[in-house]
Structure 1
Amino acid sequence: MRLKLVRENTSIDFFSRARIWLGISMVAMVIACASFMLQGLNYGIDFQGGTSIRTQSEQPVDVAVYRAALDPLALGDISIAEVFDPSFEEDQHVALVRIQAQEGDERIASETIQAVQAALQSIDPNMSFPSVESVGPKVSGELIQTAVIAVALAVVAILLYIWLRFEWQFAIGAVLALSHDVILTIGIFSELQIKFDLAIIAALLTIVGYSINDTVIVFDRVRENLRKYKRKDLKEVLNISINETLSRTLMTSVTTLLALIALFVLGGDVIRGFVFAMIWGVIIGTYSSIFVASAILLVLGVKRDWSKKDPSAGTKYGHIDT
């Protein structure tokens, strides 16, 4: 007995309210852009600058205890993560403490670092600090610029790939759907003021790849059905194509979400922002593959001349006597 998320021979009309779906997406994008412009993002240490201190102790790392010891210093955003490595000995417990750059300072003062070390040594007097590294505002600014370029180049590369593989209408639909996913992801982080760091940039790039994978599968089926149903209008072909790939799309999304939800619940605070971005991205990516990319393709239209076989195919040497 097989699990079926979608019954066979589905015939859902996804485009009876295509303008409503596009309107909802446009309103959501406007809200996301407005939130970003009005309150911005809650940048993490990677983008604000700061200092990372590596600690080593014989006592097990307790993130809550470390944070309680540092809270009285009022240093703002502090990230604490235990470091795991198979090469560590049993009594070797390592943590990475990251502190955001203080307002008006190029880098954290040595007195502040000493105060942090003293607070941590109150937990374990034998605690050592193998390394202390600082990231200045200039470097963090360069990281922001590099992150924006990375996402932009990924979208441009996908545009060229879809354009070469399909037609320009498919490329425009795919890229607008990807832009929709990225903007709404940035918007939810701005609205909820969740910490935005390099891990979220990695999540954005992963979301772009996941979303385009779904979109290409739908577009491949659309191209096949345009050749198969030459007399059906584009709206009907799109509906048939989405219904035929709906089971695969939902099964992929649900199984991915099961793993992500488990990571979100059990993975700890260090990766929670990344996993949240992935969960949101999978949901939005699935939505955009079905309702946004295909709806834009319907609006732009597709010429079917490219799908017709060349009448001279296979007759290039027909005039030669055998």
Structure 2
Amino acid sequence: MNIINKRKVFYVISSTIIIIGLIMMVAKGLNYGIDFTGGTSIQIKIGRMVSVDELREIMDNYDSNASIVHVGNNKDEIIIKSNKDFDNEKINEIVNIFVEKYDVKTDGVQSEKFMATMGDEIKKKAVISSIIAAVGMLIYITWRFELKFAIAAIVALFHDVLIILSIYAIFGIPANNAFIAAILTTIGYSINDTIVIFDRIREETKLSPRLSLEDLVNLSIKKSLTRTINTSITTLVAVIILYIVGVEDVKVLALPLIFGIFSGTYSSLFIASPIWYALKNREIFKTKKA
């Protein structure tokens, strides 16, 4: 497969997903969870397993978009998270309904209110940590390889972040603390794959110096393909199992990670390497012209 020759096709695929995601973000915005918007959290120990649909019949009267998850070894506790800032009277009203319907003990109830400023702090720290990670990777890859490899890797990581944001926007996945974890995990997974392929390109440069730049990159990707796909499949199996058997909070993290693994693998093979090729080819062209 001539990946370099078909690189524009891959660029179009990525651009289409990102553009759709950006349009959705502008039109509807991200579905920010309580961690970012502020709101109310109520934890109730019911003492037995109750279906989410049954619990939602109660919460629909107050917030139809509230998330309800089971916790505890026996799934006999629930956590209700709402973006609405309920006052104490409304919280007591909700709690009393559960107490009366399920004979809940009052000492098994906890409530907490979150301020939107906490979300601003989380977003600020997430941006700072991402910038620090990007600068660190830029320095490391430049030192180990060369600046062009570093630029290509950072562009691929930026691509992955935009893809994850687009997935959140398109599918309306709640953006909470798991949102930050999904992005950082995807970045870590993607850069690992990218470095493996870059290392193969560097080795092939030494082993096959007479190959054209296009053939060199294609050969390097071909030799790394089996390892990359096998790694992605084994990781995907683990994450998919988590999504199938996990509770709702785990599923909220697992779903974007599934897309993140696809994106990280895709960008390593079809974005980072072609971008390095374009940068290197441009350098060669300038050298010949001079």
- State the TM-score, normalized to the length of structure 1: 0.81
How far 1:272 moved relative to its partner? 1.9
Match of 1:286 among 262, 265, 283: 265
CA distance in 2, matches of 1:274, 1:117: 28
What is the distance in 2 between the residues matched to 1:15 and 1:77? 46
Residue 108 of structure 1: CA displacement? 2.2
- Aligned to 2:42, what secondary structure does the other structure show? strand
- Structure 1 pair 64/248, CA: closer, same or farther in 2 (3 Å)? same
Structure 2 CA distance for partners of 1:61 and 1:149, relative to 1, 3 Å: farther
**Are 1:98 and 2:81 counterparts?**
yes
**Are residues 1:79 and 2:62 paired?**
no
State how many pairs are aligned: 282
Residues 221-273 of structure 1, C-alpha deviations (whole Å, 9 max, x = no match): 11111111112122111111111111111111111222222222222322222
Is the Cα contact below 8 Å between 1:54 and 1:132 reproduced in 2?
yes
Moved more, 168-177 or 54-63: 54-63
Query: Which residue is 2:57 aligned to?
Result: 68
> Tell me, what secondary structure is at the counterpart of 2:78?
strand
Query: 1:164-206, CA deviations, whole angstroms, 9 ceiling, x for partnerless residues?
Result: 2110000010010011011011012112222111111101100
Whichever of the two has the greater Rg, that structure is 1
Partner AA of 1:72 in structure 2: N
- Whether the aligned pair in 2 keeps the contact of 1:55 and 1:94 (CA below 8 Å) is yes
1: CA distance, partners of 2:120 / 2:5: 46
**1:79, 1:199 → 2: CA distance?**
14
Deviation at 1:161, TM superposition (A): 1.9
Aligned sequence identity (%)? 34
The alpha-carbon deviation at position 148 of structure 1 amounts to 2.5
When residues 29 and 156 of structure 1 are mapped into structure 2, their CA distance, relative to the original with a 3 A threshold, is: farther
Q: CA RMSD in A?
A: 2.1
Contact 1:257 1:279 in 2 (8 A): yes
Kept in 2, the 8 Å contact 1:48–1:137? The answer is yes
- Judge which range, 179-188 or 259-268, deviates more: 259-268
Instruction: State the 4+ residue runs in structure 1 displaced beyond 4 angstroms.
Output: none
- Residue pairs, 1:1-322, within 5 angstroms: 12-73=1-62, 75-84=63-72, 93-101=76-84, 107-128=85-106, 129-301=108-280
Indicate if the aligned counterparts of 1:235 and 1:298 stay in contact, CA closer than 8 A.
yes
Amino acid at match of 1:17: K
Q: Is the 8 A contact 2:98 2:104 kept in 1?
A: no
Where 1:174 maps in the other structure, the secondary structure is: helix
Structure 2 Cα separation of the partners of residues 242 and 136 of structure 1: 48
Q: What is the CA–CA distance in structure 1 between the aligned matches of 2:25 and 2:136, rounded to whole Å?
A: 25
- Secondary structure class of the residue paired with 2:5: coil
List runs of 5+ in structure 1 lacking aligned partners.
Answer: 1-11, 102-106, 305-322
Q: C-alpha displacement at 1:156, in angstroms?
A: 2.5
What are structure 2's unaligned runs of at least 5 residues? 285-290
Q: CA deviation at 1:130?
A: 4.4
TM-fit CA distance, 1:77: 3.0
State how far apart, in whole Å, the 1-side matches of 2:126 and 2:86 are.
Answer: 24
Q: Does the Cα contact within 8 Å between 1:207 and 1:282 map onto a contact in 2? A: yes
CA distance in 2, matches of 1:56, 1:24: 47
Q: Is the 8 A contact 2:48 2:77 kept in 1?
A: no
